């Protein structure tokens, strides 16, 4: 098992970093949704189709 980890440490590091980025993006999307923000990034506050804010 240790040999496998030593042989693939570069791949494991990249996979852990990529997983961390994905988790961070999902966290930001979730936090924005909880705060009532839209996730499209197009400044939807003035749009007639504004995201529904359930409170």
pLDDT at residue 32, as a whole number: 84
Asked if 39 contacts 33 with a C-beta cutoff of 8 angstroms, the reply is yes
Q: What is the pLDDT of residue 37?
A: 75
Neighbouring C-alpha atoms within 13 Å toward the C-beta of 6: 3
| pTM for this model (two decimals) | 0.62
pLDDT for the residue 35: 83
User: pLDDT truncated to tens, each residue of the chain (55 aa)?
Assistant: 899 999 999 999 999 999 999 999 999 989 988 887 766 666 666 666 655 555 5
Helices (H), 1-55: 2-7, 9-34
């Amino acid at each position: 098992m240790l040999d496998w980890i030593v042989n693939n440490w570069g791949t494991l590091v990249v996979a852990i970093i990529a997983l961390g980025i994905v988790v961070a993006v999902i966290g930001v999307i979730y936090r924005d949704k909880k705060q009532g923000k839209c996730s499209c990034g197009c400044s939807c506050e003035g749009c007639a189709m504004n995201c529904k804010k359930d409170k």
